[in-house]
Amino acid sequence: MTIGATVGGLRVGDMITQLFFFLLLLYFVKKFAWGPLMNKMQEREEYVAGEIESAEQSRLEAEKASKEAAAQLSQVKQEAQKLIEDAKSAGIKQEQDIVDSAKMEADRIIQAAQADIQNEKEKAIQALQDKVASLSVLIASKVIEKEISAQDQEKLINDYIKEVGEER
């Protein structure tokens, strides 16, 4: 059957056949090309979404690790500063202990020297007293042996002073 009798008119049978084969072609394209292509596109979309999610997860983990590293670095800096301050205070304390110890030792040496000086002074006084006593006995024995005049007595005293001066 022909619609329009002119040359190149439309034939209904040909149109239905072409429509049938066109629909059949669409069915095969959908089944064998479009479906697998859409499946591959879906897989690719899921893969990309997974990669994006994995990258976001890695970024979050890296950010967390960076924060932890910064916190640890800060803690290490604080500990190092504390160690430095402790070392300084220990040095100052040790310096003060050394100074105090040196002062105590100097005081002890001074006291020992003063004690030695006092002992030597007492020994010298004792020796002088012993000498004065022996000279007094000697003068007394000479006085007893002879009566002395004022001149003799002065001469004895000067001799005594001279002897004491020579013994020093």
Q: Residue 3's pLDDT is what?
A: 56
As a whole number of angstroms, the distance between CA 157 and CA 161 comes to: 6
Does position 154 have pLDDT exceeding 90, yes or no?
no
Does position 81 have pLDDT exceeding 90, yes or no?
yes
**Residue 146 banded pLDDT, cuts 50, 70, 90:** low
As a whole number of angstroms, the distance between CA 92 and CA 98 comes to: 10
The answer to whether the Cα torsion of 148, 152, 154, 159 is positive or negative is negative
Q: What percent of the chain has pLDDT over 90?
A: 54
Classify each residue of 10-22 as buried b or exposed e, where b means 16 or more C-beta atoms within 10 Å of its C-beta.
eeeeeeeeeeeee
Q: Which domain holds residue 26?
A: 2-167
Compute CA 114 distance to the chain's CA centroid, rounded to the nearest angstrom.
Answer: 47
Quick one: average pLDDT of 88-110? Answer: 92
C-alpha dihedral, 149 to 154 to 157 to 161, nearest 10°: -160
Q: What tens digit of pLDDT does each residue of 34-55 get?
A: 888 888 999 999 999 999 999 9
Q: What tens digit of pLDDT does each residue of 112-135 get?
A: 999 999 998 888 888 887 787 777
Tokens of 137: 């006995």
Does position 108 have pLDDT exceeding 80, yes or no?
yes
**Residue 67 banded pLDDT, cuts 50, 70, 90:** very high
Q: State the burial class of residue 74 (Cβ atoms within 10 Å of its Cβ: 0-12, 13-18, 19+).
A: exposed
**Residue 148 banded pLDDT, cuts 50, 70, 90:** low
Tally of domains in the chain: 1
Does position 8 have pLDDT exceeding 60, yes or no?
no
Identify the residue with better confidence: 90 or 157. Answer: 90
